[in-house]
Structure 1
């Protein structure tokens, strides 16, 4: 039997003997009663107030609201078809602005690839859920991509969705950290970009001077190799270097790096000066290597750079001449990993500077202040300090001077042992 009854605009709140409040109302001529699951009167009143707007609506409105919710027919105020999303993004003021056409095309290619992974029923941008983003990331993992390649694709898609977030009421579906891969996934791989040794660099110069080896625009390729070897600059900076950036009299080169926009100035080494003077004989336009420069700048119909790959293949052919394989198979990756390339000359340049004791700041003034290659060849703590630390630890178990002297004296009295052998043993003990 009810203990307390409270009439409302629609229906009645009542309390059962166990203290729980219930709500009784009528809809479509049918009487209903539901438990409010509380023994607190104020909370019961609040719950009923939340129900009143629905109960006061017509029965058809209530049914339509439930059906719309079930079928996900309620759309946000701003809706955007997936088929129109790229065009909207490409004109958005917050879009990414890549420095190259190739990178811009990579954004669009990754977007098209993601669309292919979506179910057919997904038509609007707001219908893309974190679960669909995660499913796409899983498909990328199955393609055996490098970790960096995988993460670049996720980064591009995250940028696209964050730019169009006004069409995503629940936020970007690409915000979850589980979409990214970690570097440690490839930590068992020992494959990395290698620097050329001095002997390998000399071998490269020798085959470039040997007429028996053929490659397109070989005289210019020889100049490009000299530029990379004696300036540490990237391939594009060397191929597209212009004569007005070179002063043969003052023996200095100025390079405004394409990748970073930084401008560096570099003295001209004797070997480089010789080949540059030879190149002056074929001067026909502003480029030091005119044929390679024209080849490098070739583009396809979409504006994508294709000539850089052609010149790159010519460069790799020279590396194969000296018996080195530019790329190797890596477990877990579909594509081979590059170990030797023109960029190896940049590593070699840094390595030689480190070995010669050139200050790191001087190297960075040549490579560019944002270069991370220097960190691979210049230790932060200093090798001498590290050696002192190891020596300090080793000295804990080492013999004292007095102990070594006493042991050496005993060896001098060893019978039936040649004097030369005894002398060697004494030297070993005293050095230990």
Structure 2
């Protein structure tokens, strides 16, 4: 294992980049120079905190950098392209967004892509203040030329507009070069749903942890990250319930927690599994959280293809000149889960809470599905495997007449929220 604070330089075109590993995660970033000596100096500066003898020394280095970066930015000093990301990152969160780890990683990649392109396209531009709208437009054309979809290009536009806006607030740039670079309307290529027969084929032909993963996806609608990292501590097989905070909304804390009913077939499958640690699927959990999520996704897609399922739009992907447009993948289990519950009559309010989606309607903020409601949703799903058919006992009607609910909601004020919430829950539970 490499010592902390080590990394290596490499060339992309004529520009030096740095690759290093921190806490098991690999990072790459441009150093914005074609000179090796200058690249080494910048690499040493980046890696200095990780080479510190102790935590106190590391924090002292970081604090010194933040102070220097803030002073440079607030005094309107020129910010070099090579120093721009560190300067942006050092801004307080009242000036810039404070994204989660996944979004931050995306931002770093987008900035590095722009900085690297700028070094090749306009090497004379050394500071942020030198970037003009013409550069912004040429960069967007560069992305389109690489075959990026409209939605992905829009992400770059939105990020870079935000980046330069924040740097403008602290005086690093006078004008935002991306201000007039508008986003385009993207055609959404939503994942298609699986048929019940396709789901059975996918699950029955899989084995090991992959079988469990597909079973969990089909029976709960969890996203891939949440399914792979599902823990026994979140899974109550006696009550047939899963309670967890999705990775995507983890920054919201406890208020983002969701509760999902476990279908009987899935509960039986999970009950038969050996418990080798905190994770339901320890191998997949280690792989997915260890930086190999792409390998997991590739195995999933390979299995779907082996099941005779068309996973990408014809004429796109491998062997063509167009980027793959995915039609069906693991996320299709989530779409299928929602669609089948809707067909079975699961109330929309319950579904909103089950899948952890936000909802603008005020009453939805205060409604929480009961155990009976989420189990009704679980039992509404069709059989996931072939076998003896178990006759389902019709679930009791738990929804109040729409007119009564509407009348009650119309009385809602900021002062009687708790009272109305209690009445709504009572009506829903019968």
TM-score bin (small chain) = 0.5 to 0.7
The offset of 1:90, in angstroms, is: 2.2
TM-score (norm 2): 0.59
User: CA shift at 1:365, angstroms?
Assistant: 1.4
Superposed CA offset, 1:51-93 (max 9, x none): xxxxxxxxxxxxxxxxxxxxxxxxx952222222222112222
Cα distance in structure 1, aligned partners of 2:150 and 2:132: 24
Pair 1:357-2:360 in alignment = no
1:317 has 2:302 as partner = yes
Structure 1 unmatched runs, 5+? 1-75, 209-217, 299-304, 373-432
Structure 2: distance between partners of 1:244 and 1:293? 14
Equivalent residue in structure 1 for 2:244, among 239, 242, 255: 255
1:167-178 correspondence to structure 2 within 5 Å: 167-178=171-182
Shift of 1:330: 4.2
Partner of 1:194: 192
2:332 aligned residue (332, 341, 344):
344
2:197 counterpart of 1:181: no
2:264 aligned with 1:270: yes
Counterparts of 2:204 and 2:217, CA distance in 1: 16
Q: State the partner residue of 1:220.
A: 209
Q: 1:316 to 1:333 in 2, by over 3 A?
A: same
- Any idea what SS the aligned residue of 1:265 has? strand
Residues 165-201 of structure 1 deviation map (CA, whole Å, 9 limit, x = unaligned): 13455321111144x2222xx48xxx54100011111
Give the 3-state SS of the residue equivalent to 2:249 in structure 1: coil
**Aligned runs of 1:5-20 on 2, under 5 Å?**
none
SS in 2 for 1:164: helix
Residues 194-252 of structure 1: per-residue CA shift (max 9 Å, x gap): 000111111112212xxxxxxxxx41111111111111110111110111111111111
1:80 aligns with 2:79: yes
Deviation at 1:256, TM superposition (A): 1.0
Identify the structure with bigger relative contact order (alpha carbons < 8 Å, sequence gap 6+). 2
The structural deviation recorded for 1:141 is: 2.0
TM-score (norm 1): 0.59
Name the structure 2 match of 1:204. Answer: 202
Alpha-carbon shift at residue 140 of structure 1 (Å)? 1.8
Structure 1 residues 358-412: Cα deviation after superposition (integer angstroms, max 9, x where no partner): 211111111113289xxxxxxxxxxxxxxxxxxxxxxxxxxxxxxxxxxxxxxxx
Shift of 1:346: 0.4
Greater C-alpha radius of gyration: 1
Q: 1:78–1:365: structure 2 CA closer, same or farther, 3 Å change rule? A: same
> CA 1:192 to 1:244, structure 2 compared with 1: closer, same or farther past 3 Å?
closer
C-alpha contact 1:224 1:238 (8 A) present in aligned 2? yes
Structure 2 partner of 1:296: 288
- 1:237 matched to which residue of 2? 226
2:60 maps to none
Q: Is the 8 A contact 2:164 2:173 kept in 1?
A: no
Whether 1:89 aligns to 2:74 is no
Gaps of 5+ in 2: 1-74, 251-255, 361-430
The DSSP-based 3-state class of the residue aligned with 1:327 is coil
**SS of equivalent residue, structure 2 residue 205:** helix
- SS at structure 2 position matched to 1:259: helix
